[in-house]
Amino acid sequence: MAGRRRASGSSVVALCLLLVSLVACGGRAATDSARDDVQRLLDRRAAAVLAHDASGYRHTGSAGGFAEVRALPLADWSYRLTGLHRTGDRATAEAELRYRIDGFDQAPMTADRTLGLSRDADGRWSVTSDRPAPRSAEQLWDRGAVTVVRGEHSLVLGVGQTRRTLEGYADLGDRAVPAVSRAWGTDWSGRVVVLVPESLQGMAGLLGSPASSYRGIAAVTTGETGAARSPADRIVVNPEAYGVLGAVGKQVVLTHEVTHVATRAQTATRTPLWLSEGYADWVGYRDGGRTPAQAAPELARSVAAGDVPAALPDNGDFAFTGDSTALAKAYEGGWTACRLIAQRWGERRLGEFYRAVAADGPETALADVLGTSPEQFTGWWRDYLRAEFG
């Protein structure tokens, strides 16, 4: 009996030693410890960004990125570690970056990041690199140091642009915001963030798409359709296409994009693009004094030649396919339809119709707000085109 007890005791000791060995050699506890250490490292790095603490940032590893973001007016900046892959004293961390621009973002923006890590002889981890995760869009600071210009209603963030150029965007934004509020109402934030990268390629990087998708497009607006509290809309400018526009064209484009920011919460997946894009153009041209032929030249030429569209533009007509004439006619078709509503039923009714479409769909909104049907409205629109351009 005594012999068996000694053998049993030896087995227990051996098992305990085996467990200790497994844990020390990379078992669950060791992995969890590394994750905790890396998360604390990222917490310190984020705190240094928020505090504009260059020394504290350097103590977390590579100083790369600090100069690029230091001008940003940040209310929040944090990392949440989502994955860790170790190879000895090297590791790759996957993290979700959450940040919020003070005074402009209602909730944090999120971005997936990949961070390189190394561990020194004392077991301390440090960051060696911080870049967008694979298949994720770039952030503006990935393109270089961000210059910040504040307007009365706008915040312009630029890379590779002079301060004077960015001030011009701020002036345009400050005129656009009250113009949109006069047309749409004041049930929105009344503030916009404009991103101005150094090139078309920079714009494409921010949007996570090929540059060919946006060649000739002056600006786009990003945001979550139908969100009552959209975290953050961004107007992203293509400086190459925007730069060739005249003063009126620049104002129309920016007012169009600000309209998308204002109407975001009242835009649903059921809202047809002829309405959302047409309404944005209607607001953009509302105070500009352009004639219909000046605002819709492609459609005017087509109708004058006897080619009157059989139907309102469908969503596919607004795709960036490289056919600039077809795309222009789609936008112009939407604008003329909204202009018809504003003239026949009144500007207030146009806004009511837009909101009703998001709630009930186009067919019901046409009946309830305008007292018509899709077929009848399309017929009136085609007659309107003939009267304006025929």
pLDDT for 19: 36
pLDDT of residue 289: 82
Decide if pLDDT at 341 tops 70: yes
What is the average pLDDT across 351-362?
Answer: 97
Tell me which residue of 266, 204, 205 sits closest to 230, measured CA to CA: 266
Which pTM value belongs to this model?
Answer: 0.88
The pLDDT assigned to 224 comes to 57
Domain boundaries, the chain: 29-136, 140-261, 268-390
Q: Nearest-CA neighbor of 155 among 68, 231, 98, 72?
A: 72
How many other β-carbons are positioned within 10 Å of the β-carbon of residue 119? 17
Q: What is the DSSP letter of 368?
A: I
Model pLDDT for residues 170-183, shown as the tens digit of each residue: 999 999 999 999 99
Considering the chain, what is the average pLDDT of its residues? 91
Return the DSSP state at 316. G
The predicted structure's pLDDT at residue 133: 98
Q: Which two tokens stand for residue 331?
A: 């936008």
Spatial separation of the C-alpha atoms in residues 82 and 67, rounded to whole Å:
26
Residue 83 has pLDDT above 70, yes or no: yes
Smallest CA-to-CA distance from 265 within 325, 224, 310, 305 is with: 224
Burial of 67 (0-12, 13-18, 19+ CB in 10 A): middle
> Residue 317: what pLDDT?
95
**What pLDDT does residue 225 have?**
53
Indicate if the pLDDT at residue 350 is higher than 50.
yes
233 by DSSP, 3-state: which? coil
Neighbours of 190 (CB within 10 A): 14
Measuring CA to CA, which residue among 294, 389, 295 is closest to residue 338?
Answer: 295
In whole angstroms, what is the distance from residue 127 CA to residue 115 CA? 7
**What's the pLDDT tens digit per position in 215-274?**
889 999 987 554 444 556 899 999 999 999 999 999 999 999 999 999 999 999 999 999
Q: What percent of the chain lies above the pLDDT cut of 70?
A: 89
Element (H, E) at 390: none
Of residues 336 and 222, more confidence is placed in 336
Give the fold, CATH level 3, of 29-136. Answer: Nuclear Transport Factor 2; Chain: A, (3.10.450)
Residue 149 has pLDDT above 90, yes or no: yes
Segment 42-46 mean pLDDT: 98
**Predicted confidence (pLDDT) per residue in 186-199, tens digit:** 999 999 999 999 99
Contacts (Cβ under 8 Å, ≥6 apart) of 19: none
Contact present, 127 and 49 (Cβ < 8 Å) = no
**pLDDT for res 13:** 41
- R_g of the chain computed on alpha carbons: 28
Closest CA to 261 of 154, 169, 151: 154
pLDDT of residue 30: 53
**DSSP readout, 64-77?**
TTHHHHTTS-EEEE
- The CA-based diameter of the chain, rounded to the nearest angstrom, is 111
CATH of domain 140-261: 3.30.2010.30
Read off the pLDDT of residues 34-43 as tens digits, 9 standing for 90 and up. Answer: 999 999 999 9
